[in-house]
Amino acid sequence: MTKYKLLDSIDGPMDLKALTLDEMKQLCKEMRAFILDSVSNTGGHLASNLGVVELTLALHYVFDSPKDKLIWDVGHQSYVHKILTGRKELFGSLRQLGGLSGFPKPGESAHDIFGTGHSSTAISAALGIARARDIMGRDKHHVVAVVGDGALTGGMAFEALNDAGHTKTNLIVILNDNEMSISQNVGALAGHLSKVRSSSKYNWFKKGIEKMLDRIPWIGKPISRSIELCKRGFKSLLVHGMIFEEMGFKYLGPIDGHNINSLVNVLGQASRMEGPVLIHVITQKGKGYEYAEKDPEFFHGVPPFTMETGRTKGIAFETFSGAFGNKLVELASKDDKVVAITAAMPDSTGLMKFQDRYPKRFFDVGIAEQHAVTMAAGLANSGLKPYVAIYSTFLQRAYDQILHDVCIQNLPVRFAVDRAGLVGEDGETHQGIFDISYLNHIPNLDIFTPKDTNELRDIMDFTLDAKGPIAIRYPKGYVNSSILPYFETNTPFSPYQWETLMYGKDCCIFSFGKMLQVAVEAAELLGEVGIKAQVVNARCLKPLDKDTLKSISMSHTHWIILEDNVITGGFGSSVVNYVANMGLNINIINLGIPDTFVPQGKVDQLMNLLHLDPDSVANRIRDFLYGVKESAYDHRLKTKA
């Protein structure tokens, strides 16, 4: 007998419509079991997907995807949607190179309407799709945006809500609230009011009364306004959604997000309503798996784990994020002006210990990177020492605030740019390969990138008394222990001075951060064929160590720049500009990320795909020294991609 009797009978969303609601409840159980089986082997976003099983099934039961457009904010909660839309058999390849994406991807399926990966974008996209429907006179299909409560901490979501409510476009927004518990009394009353307000007879009666009162001379309109004010005042006491009503949405909820009957009922009602509608759904992250229910933050994005114990597989090493968090606690113990800021990721950025130890000096602003940066500017302006820990790919969202609010005023904000470089399985939206390019050209901002956790701690000591803005970029994970002996140079730490890790007469490799591991291994391989490469740790990317560059220009005419950033605007671009401006007779090759978005896959696989693994780098350097054109590697990359 098949393990998933009902689930195996579902080939597409239309198959759901033949099921009874009782069968749908059984399907929910099978769906959770399937997700657990799959994610425990591949890793992925677990807690959020377990929390939206009933909601996703109800959406596909009521609406007709892909005619009706379902848009998932962030998208890490779209596994159930993918399983229902013909991709169940691909789940063994989830988040792997060439496999199923962990996020909605239009190129993967017609049911993935809009590509997402960052937060707070879905309502804007949905409103654009809804307006396009109206302008082009297409079939009156439904447009539904599913947004988490965390996403509403992003200002863009409120900008979209304000616009949508103002223009009265037909649009359904589902607020998936997985933080608030359901209050039986308030929830029941609010649910009753939702049914009344969503009733077509009620809305018809309400509009009729308003029209009738408006026709009465002198007193009609004042009476109508008084009734409306009384109604709003009553709702403000009893209904959680007053703010959404004021923005122009019809508010329905809160609804139990794990009651399939209630969900199907309210979604059906919303589909018949005119104008923008917001449905407030209460769900529990990690629903149905005890370990994920108890610790949803850990099981938000989890590597492969043992289902019976909830423990991850593999050996634990000190990560850059962990070292950053521990060092910041140490600095805070010595200096009461040290404060920490994160954007909804205290655990992933290593700040949980800081939060526990210094709660009054810790600020989690939610998914609001722009606010985080400008608030940090305000803290620095008042004499405090803020450290802002945000992933590279998310810091992109605060570019203007970095430039306008921090750097123009030369305020000493310390940016901890986590997950810099390739991060792997989350794919294009999460690779941290642009930060050097978008930070490098901003005046007043110094950029450091440590080769290991010891150097990270040294840099943090230096930044404590910084007089201007500083960015410290570091990768996900840890340093390969086999490389560490090369990093132990015993030279005193000097933040603006580069250091030589290996000496050689034939060429010089300039690299930094995690790519230094590749540089050292490539230099070893070159040594086996008689090529002696010098390896320099360019730990300060901006400003350049021009003294070291000038010195090496006198002994080496072939330079190799190795970086985990896009080549355009990266560290190599700065070195090339220096060489050109100085009129030096140097041959340079930049090895980094080409002009492309990097897909999902394990980091080692992606490094190989990009010809940035040690073997490929060694071969490219050898060819460079012997005059082989680099274009051959560009061609192979395109062929593989």
**Residue 66 structure tokens:** 């892909």
Which CA distances in Å does 307 have to 30, 46, 303? 16, 12, 12
| 3-state SS class at 179 | coil
> To the nearest 10°, the Cα dihedral for 439, 442, 446, 450?
10
Asked if 512 contacts 519 with a C-beta cutoff of 8 angstroms, the reply is no
| 3-state SS class at 105 | coil
Which CA distances in Å does 198 have to 70, 252, 275, 311? 21, 8, 12, 45
**Residue 620 structure tokens:** 């490219």
Strand bridging mode 311-312 / 305-306: antiparallel
| 3-state SS class at 305 | strand
Distance CA 515, CA 403 (A): 27
Strand bridging mode 362-364 / 414-418: unpaired
Which CA distances in Å does 98 have to 103, 127, 421, 425, 426? 14, 32, 20, 11, 12
Residues 6+ apart with CB under 8 A from 612: 515, 518, 562, 564, 591, 592, 593
Q: How far is C-alpha 35 from the geometric centre of its chain's CA atoms?
A: 21
The CA-to-CA distance between both ends of the chain, in Å, stands at 41
| Phi–psi pair at 359, nearest 5 degrees | -60, -30
Distance CA 339, CA 423 (A): 27
369 is catalytic: yes
**Residue 638 structure tokens:** 């395109």
**Residue 130 structure tokens:** 């809804």
Which residue bears the tokens 């049914």?
195
* Annotated active-site residue in 285, 414, 476, 539: 285
Residue 342's nearest CA partner among 394, 400, 298 is 394
Residue 510: how many CB atoms within 10 A of its CB?
Answer: 27
Residues 6+ apart with CB under 8 A from 101: 95, 108, 427, 600
**Residue 624 structure tokens:** 């460079």
Strand bridging mode 171-177 / 69-72: unpaired
Distance CA 238, CA 260 (A): 24
| Phi–psi pair at 635, nearest 5 degrees | -65, -45
Please give the single-letter amino acid code of residue 95. R
* Annotated active-site residue in 30, 54, 369, 563: 369
208: enclosing H helix or E strand? helix 200-215
Phi-psi region of 195 (alpha: psi -120 to 50; beta: other; left: phi over 0): alpha
* Annotated active-site residue in 250, 327, 385, 397: 397
Residues 6+ apart with CB under 8 A from 323: 350, 453, 456, 457
Distance CA 625, CA 628 (A): 8
Phi-psi region of 569 (alpha: psi -120 to 50; beta: other; left: phi over 0): left
Residue 325's nearest CA partner among 446, 430, 423, 472 is 472
Instruction: Report, as residue numbers or ranges, the catalytic residues.
Output: 285, 369, 397
